[in-house]
Structure 1
Amino acid sequence: MSLDIQHDEEYQQFTAFLNNEEIGELAYATPEPDIMDFQHTFIEKEYRGKGLADELIKHGLDYAAENGFQVRATCKAVASYLERNPG
């Protein structure tokens, strides 16, 4: 099960699609020009427990790293992901 993840800079979120259906989002803020604060992760109930939130979070974190952002994890799911996947 692979997600199509689209980044919307205007709305500051990554949106996850599965078979062209929107199933989740990862929202962030940029409180400072070099900081990306991940604030909210959501996956539709019927798709939870399949690792899709982790895939979405990884995509967002990869984007932050590739673009020189420091990461802040206000979202508990992102903080938990970072604890499980240090470095």
Structure 2
Amino acid sequence: MAASVRDNKEKGRFELDVGSEVAFANYRLTPSAVIITHTETPRALRGRGIASELVKGALELIRRDGKKVIAGCGFVVDYLERHPEDADLVA
């Protein structure tokens, strides 16, 4: 994917631009973890792995910041089950 995931701190979400569309994952912060509460992929982009790319990038940013993740949405729960290599991030 050409674009990279960014942390939009003002909106409290991770974002991934795909063309003119934006996929995003809302989050809330705790002192030691990031709770991802909702992921959203524009309808026209669904089924292309974009949500997975978004979560993967979000987890990389969380890891870089030395935090843990709490899966507060079903997609992130499923992603973490499919990617045991990220189990060390789970709070």
Question: Which TM-score applies when normalising by structure 2?
Answer: 0.84
Q: What is the identity, as a one-letter code, of the residue corresponding to 2:25? A: L
Which blocks of at least 5 consecutive residues in structure 1 are unaligned?
Answer: none
The share of aligned pairs that are identical, in percent, is 31
Alpha-carbon deviation of 1:35? 0.9
Cα distance in 1 between the residues matched to 2:4 and 2:68: 24
Kindly tell me the number of residue pairs found equivalent between the two proteins. Answer: 85
Cα distance in 2 between the residues matched to 1:23 and 1:8: 12
Higher share in helix: 2
1:1-87 matched pairs, under 5 angstroms: 1-19=1-19, 21-30=20-29, 32-87=30-85
Which blocks of at least 5 consecutive residues in structure 2 are unaligned?
Answer: 86-91
Runs of 4+ in structure 1 off by over 3 angstroms are 1-4
Cα shift readout 1:19-66 (whole Å, capped 9, x = no counterpart): 2x1331111101x21110011100011110100000000011111111
